[in-house]
Amino acid sequence: MAKILVPLANGFEEIEAVAIIDILRRAGIEVVVAGLRTGLATGAHNISVACDAVLNAGMANSIDGVVLPGGMPGTTALVQNNVLREIIVEMDRQNKLLAAICAAPAVLYAAGVLEGRIAACYPGNEKEMPGITHSLENHVCDGNIITSRGPGTAIEFSLAIVRYLAGPAAAAGLKKTLVA
C-alpha cells in the first residue's frame, strides 16, 4: 500500500489535517505526519497533534506522495520550507501524488509544480497564484495533483486521494462507511 507524507506546521487547519490522516489510514494507506520541528504541532484553533517524525529530505526516498493541509500561518511556514519544496519537486518529477487543500495549493505553486495546471483553493487565495487555471469545484484532479477548497471539502478531498491511490472501489466502500 502507498505511503504518504503529511507535513504539519504550527497554524495548520485542524479539520483538514485530521480528516486527511484519518481517512487515509482507514483506507489502509500508511501516513507519516511530519512536523517542521520536534514535538507537537499546534493548529490554527489551538488543537495539538503529535507528529511521527521531523520533516527531512531523506523522506522523499520512501514515500509515494505528499498531502498538504491548509491553514494559516501554517501554510506560510510550509511555503518557506526548502526541504519540503525539494520533496515536492522530486515527487512531481517522479509523477507521484501531490495534494493540497485550502491555502496549501500555494505551497505547490511556490514549488513551481502548478504551472499549466487547474487547481482549486480557498476562495480569495487565487490572487496568490497568478498564471494557473482556478476552479470553483470542491476538488480537482489534474494528473498527479489533487487540490481542494477548504475545511468543508476535507472528506471529499480525502476520498479523492483514496480513489487516486487505492482505486474507485476502495473510495466508494470507505465513503459508504463514513455515510458521506
SS3 content of the chain, % helix, strand, coil (to 5): 40, 25, 35
Whether 121 sits among the annotated catalytic residues: the reply is no
C-alpha cell belonging to residue 83? 526541504
The catalytic residue among 51, 102, 121, 141 is: 102
CA angle, 7 then 53 then 108, to 5°? 20
End-to-end CA distance of the chain: 24
Alpha helices in 8-153 (DSSP H): 14-26, 74-79, 82-93, 105-110
Minimal CA–CA distance to 23: which of 145, 129, 165? 165
Q: What residues are labeled active site?
A: 102
